[in-house]
Chain A
Amino acid sequence: MTTFLQQLINGISIGSVYALMAVGYSLVYSIMNFSNFAHGGVIMIGAYLGFFALAIWQLPFPIAFFIAAVGSGILAIVLERIAYNPLRKRNAPFLYFIISAMGASIFLENIVIATIGPNFKTYPQVFQKTPYEIGALAIGRLDVVMFIISAVSLLILLIIIEKTKVGMAIKATAYNFKASSLMGVNTDYIIFIVFGLGGALAGIAGILFGMKYTVYPQIGVITIKAFIAAVFGGLGSLSGAVIGAISLGIIETMTAGYISSQLRDLIAFALLIFILVVRPMGIMGKMNEDKA
């Protein structure tokens, strides 16, 4: 029983990192209808920003956190201006957006390799390593902090989307881009906001990931799992992304813990494919146009 609970905690903790990444994917997808593969690159830059702030400039954690979030938000907006905006103005097919996104992602990875170097960087210890112990259960301090930060960030995002005027406009644009634009919604501004928010979430995911694990130029690869979680939850749906991510974390952990760690990915992803076959729109997704 304790092992089961421990595995559940492990799963939720892994899932909450996936969730922060997956929501960024879903947010951009809901507006632009394409999968922003450069998201992984932005997360990586966020992780490096956090590393520089904490390890090199020796700033306290809240300020480092702020730098990572805001810096990544700005980066995402700049990327949109350079890599996607010109395509959008020309009504390019969605495939071009994806290619452009992949290019941006490779560019970001290599610019870090060229300037900072290919080696791993380790964050200084911000939170103590000794875990909270409840009976035989061990819960890492960092995991608790990460879970709270993830939850609060996602909650703030939800409030912005559900309760503010901008949020309403985002929802309208996600529902129908052309119609909202005709109704007087400034869609350029909405895209600006969406990339800013998505980038900030990526930055938060990056600094948390870096603190928990380590920083290296290929971090972006891990976002493949976040992307899968987003699809699994229903691309375009934010609550779906969160549910998909947490489920993926738990499924992975339980497969490794109770079936076989050798076959973990095989079984976990076969299960995901099965769910998608039964429910192609994902858990929370609505069936509308084709998905890129």
Chain B
Amino acid sequence: MKRRISLLLVLIMILSMLSGCASGTAGGEAPAEVVKIGWIGSLTGDQAVWGTCEFNTVQMLVDEANDNGGWLGKQIELVGYDTKGDSLEAVNAVKRLVGQDKVVAIVGPNASGQAIAISQVLEESGVPDIATVATNPKVTIDENGNTKPYNFRVCFIDPYQGAVAAGYAFEELGFTKAAILYDVADEYSQGLTQFFEETFVELGGEIVAKEAFKFGDVDFRPQLSKIKETNPEIIFMPYFFKEVALSSTQARELGMDAVLMGGDGWTSEQLLEMAGSSVEGSYVVNHLDFEDPDVQEFKNAYTEKYGSAVELNGYLAYDAFKLLEEAVLKAGEADSKLIAKALESAEVQGITGYIRINKDTHNPEGKEAAILKIVDNKYKFQMKYSVDVE
């Protein structure tokens, strides 16, 4: 009896391991010659909404490309792994992708922390990675200022985003007194805070309060009460939508009516649902205008296939895939090192703008930001805005 139970347990373990690997691979019989690409991102945890959307997008594009004959006459196979929003898990996922699945390139992750962590494995294996919404400068540049050979991205970077927010708040909205609430445990939040502050002060504005919280906090009233005392005209909130929803609601509860502003961490349909009237009239620095006619086709196709709205990450995952496609076709061979070489000078018309990878930074050059305003519980496009950052 005991042995039978242990046998059963072993069987269950093996099955669960198999199902763990199988999740995400394109099912069905794969032809002998395939181009394997990987995807990593959060399918569980705080950012699961975004990760799921990214994976769905890439899967959709893979299917589409396969219907049109694939790349270089070969079918494409997608292998996706969950990073659970954790840097260590991301490293393990990449190790599995390059070691076990032998992918030629990887799309994702969306978060900077994970994208920075995987650089070393990428370098050891020579497999290029295109991050989607990882906006921290260190994703493509190492501590010593050297460009990482296998890290690329399709989004603009934090200094740019923080500077755009500050520039828009000061020059277009005419605010001179700003407060900042930021996540002290998050690099994204710190990066945006730093460059918002620098730009805003440089332009002649004043930062009247700068308060911090820690990831995982749900109550921001102590910090907000302190900010309220200083009477800012605008509060910059550079962090993710769950905390934005909570902190904006609590700010309104404390009777604060300052205008709120945030970066691309805000742009989720979930924010509108969670925060409701609290974020009405707020400004968001985003990667694209959701109502742009050029993005409608993809948006509708996605909603039709998956029955839910596209998150911001979907658009950047789309561009990451298109950039990769361009590089693979240019390389003329499904070889990871050649693809990396091709990526260094790849150009493609993406849906978030024209993407021209800069050889020295591996960032898309001169991408404009889109300023959105939340009106009637919808993201409403205001203008394209750009600033000069050295």
- Tell whether, in the assembled complex, residue A222 and residue B255 are in contact, meaning their CB atoms are under 8 Å apart: no
Q: Is A214 an interface residue (CB 8 A)?
A: yes
114-146 of chain A: CB within 8 A of chain B: 117-120, 122, 125, 129, 131, 133, 138, 140
For B25, the chain A residues whose CB sits under 8 A away are: none
Does any Cβ of B come within 8 Å of A14's Cβ? yes
In the bound complex, residues from chain A placing their C-beta under 8 Å from that of B254 are 6, 131, 138
Cβ of A10 within 8 Å of any chain B Cβ, yes or no, is yes
**Interface residues of B: mostly helix, strand, loop or mixed?**
helix
What is the CA–CA distance of A221 and B218 in the complex, to the nearest angstrom?
A: 11
Q: Is the CB of B48 within 8 A of A122?
A: no
Contacts of A10 in B (CB 8 A): 219, 221-222, 225
User: Which chain B residue has the least Cβ–Cβ distance from A133?
Assistant: B255
Residues in A neighbouring B226, C-beta threshold 8 A: 3, 256-257, 261
For residue A4, give the distance in angstroms from its CB to the closest CB of chain B.
10
Question: In whole angstroms, what is the CA distance A10 to B225 when docked?
Answer: 9
Report the Cα distance A11→B219, complex, angstroms: 10
The reply to whether the CB of A80 lies closer than 8 angstroms to some CB of chain B is no
Distance between B219 CB and nearest chain A CB, rounded to angstroms:
5
Return the CB mask of A90-119 against B: 1 if under 8 Å, else 0: 000000000000000000000001000111
- Among residues of A, the one whose C-beta sits closest to the C-beta of B253 is A140
Q: A72 contacts the other chain (Cβ, under 8 Å)?
A: no
Q: Are B246 and A213 in contact (CB under 8 A)?
A: yes
Q: Which residues of the other chain, A, contact B273 by a CB distance below 8 angstroms?
A: 122
Q: A6-B225, A129-B252 are in contact. Are A261 and B213 (CB under 8 A)?
A: yes
Chain A residues near B270 (CB, 8 Å)? 119-120
Indicate if A35 sits at the interface (CB-CB under 8 A): no
B253 and A138 contacting across the interface, CB-CB below 8 Å: yes
B45-57: CB near A (< 8 Å → 1, else 0) gives: 1101100000000
CB pair B222–A261 under 8 Å, yes or no, is yes
By Cβ-Cβ distance, the 5 closest A-B pairs, closest first, are A256-B222, A118-B48, A10-B221, A253-B222, A262-B212
Q: Interface centre among A133, A261, A264, by most B CB within 10 Å?
A: A261
Known contacts A129-B277, A214-B274, A265-B214; is-contact A11 B222 (Cβ 8 Å): yes
**Pairs A–B under 8 Å by Cβ, sample size 10:** A7-B222, A117-B48, A129-B249, A214-B218, A214-B245, A218-B46, A253-B221, A261-B211, A262-B184, A264-B212
Choose among B49, B223, B277 the residue that contacts A256 (Cβ–Cβ < 8 A): B223
CA of A117 to CA of B48, assembled, Å: 9
Q: Is B151 at the interface (CB under 8 A from chain A)?
A: no
A11–B273 CA distance with the chains assembled, in angstroms: 28
Bound Cα distance from A117 to B221, whole angstroms: 29
| B255 A131 Cβ-Cβ under 8 A | yes
Q: Chain B residue with minimal CB distance to A221?
A: B216
CB distance from B252 to the nearest CB of A (A): 6
**Contact residue among B44, B228, B278 (Cβ-Cβ distance under 8 Å from A118):** B44
CB contact list, B223-269 vs A, under 8 A: 223, 225-226, 228-229, 242, 245-246, 249, 252-255
Give B residues with C-beta under 8 Å from A: 43-46, 48-49, 184, 211-214, 216, 218-219, 221-223, 225-226, 228-229, 242, 245-246, 249, 252-255, 270, 273-274, 276-278
Chain A residues in the interface with B (C-beta under 8 A): 3, 6-7, 10-11, 13-14, 113, 117-120, 122, 125, 129, 131, 133, 138, 140, 213-214, 216, 218, 221-222, 252-254, 256-257, 261-262, 264-265
Cβ of B253: which chain A residues have Cβ within 8 Å of it?
129, 131, 138, 140
A131, A254, A261: the one contacting B212 at CB < 8 Å is A261
Contact: A129 with B44, CB < 8 Å?
no
Q: Which residues of B contact A261 (CB under 8 A)?
A: 211-213, 222-223, 226
**B48 near A119 (CB under 8 angstroms)?**
yes
A221 to B212, CA, bound (A): 20
B48 proximity list for chain A (CB < 8 A): 117-119
A129 touches B211 (CB 8 A): no
Minimum distance in angstroms from A129 CB to a CB of chain B: 6
When distances are taken between beta carbons in the complex, the residues of chain B under 8 Å from A253 are: 221-222
- Pick the most buried of A6, A7, A11, A117: most chain B CB atoms within 10 A of its CB: A6
CB distance from B190 to the nearest CB of A (A): 11
Q: Is the CB of A222 within 8 A of B252?
A: no
What residue of chain B has the Cβ atom nearest to residue A10's Cβ? B221
A sample of 9 more A-B contacts (CB under 8 A), given A10-B219, A122-B273, A140-B253, is A6-B225, A7-B222, A13-B221, A129-B277, A131-B253, A213-B219, A216-B242, A222-B216, A264-B214
Contact A118 B45, beta carbon cutoff 8 Å = yes
In the complex, what residues of A have CB within 8 A of residue B216's CB? 221-222
How far is B273's CA from A131's CA once the two chains are assembled, in angstroms? 21
In the assembled complex, how far is the CB of residue B318 from the closest CB belonging to chain A, in whole angstroms?
Answer: 22
Residues A113 and B229 in contact in the complex (CB < 8 Å), given A129-B252, A138-B255:
no
**Nearest CB of chain A from residue B220's CB, rounded to whole Å:** 9
Residues of B within 8 A of A214 (CB): 218, 242, 245-246, 274
Residue of B nearest to A141 (CB): B253
Shortest CB distance B189–A (Å): 12
What CA separation (Å) do A254 and B225 show in the bound complex?
11
Given the complex of chains A and B, what is the CA–CA distance between A138 and B301 in angstroms? 47
With A and B bound together, what is the CA distance between A155 and B169 in angstroms?
50
- In the assembled complex, the Cα of A213 lies from the Cα of B49 at a distance in Å of 18
Question: What's the nearest-Cβ distance from chain B to residue A18, in Å?
Answer: 10
